[in-house]
Amino acid sequence: MTFTRAAVAAMTPEVITLYRAKLFPTRPLRPLSRRRKSTWAGPKEEGRKLGEQKKKLYAEYRKAKADMQEVTTIKANIDYLLGYSEPGRKKEQER
């Protein structure tokens, strides 16, 4: 015997339990399964927020890295113009 979705939706849990007990007398009765809420909703939202935060922080990091590289280049140029050199550099140039 098959039921339509409307017929099953109209049935009370007690009626469904009795019907199941009559159909399968040897099986233990389990509670009716109900659609569970997604357990991934919280972690998905948290991951989305962390991803946005990561993008913002990485943009700041790239800007700071570019600024640091520019400062290092300027320092090297000034040192070259003034004739300063690192102790290890002079040995490399002599070879």
Short-list 24, 19, 18, CA closest to 2: 19
91: pLDDT strictly greater than 60: no
2: pLDDT strictly greater than 80: no
22 in the same domain as 55: no
91 in the same domain as 57: yes
Does residue 40 form part of some domain? Answer: no
- The answer to whether 19 and 7 are in contact (CB under 8 A) is no
56 in the same domain as 16: no
Does residue 39 form part of some domain? Answer: no
Cα 34 from Cα 12, distance rounded (Å): 13
CA dihedral defined by 61, 67, 70, 71, rounded to 10 degrees?
-120
Q: pLDDT of 50-78, one tens digit each? A: 999 999 999 999 999 999 999 999 999 99
Does residue 19 form part of some domain? Answer: yes
Does residue 16 form part of some domain? Answer: yes
- pLDDT at position 11 is 78
| Residue 88: domain span | 50-95
95: pLDDT strictly greater than 60: no
- The answer to whether 38 and 29 are in contact (CB under 8 A) is no
Cα 92 from Cα 95, distance rounded (Å): 6
Q: pLDDT of 19-40, one tens digit each? A: 777 777 776 666 666 666 667 7
Cα 86 from Cα 82, distance rounded (Å): 12
Does residue 42 form part of some domain? Answer: no
Give the count of domains, the chain: 2
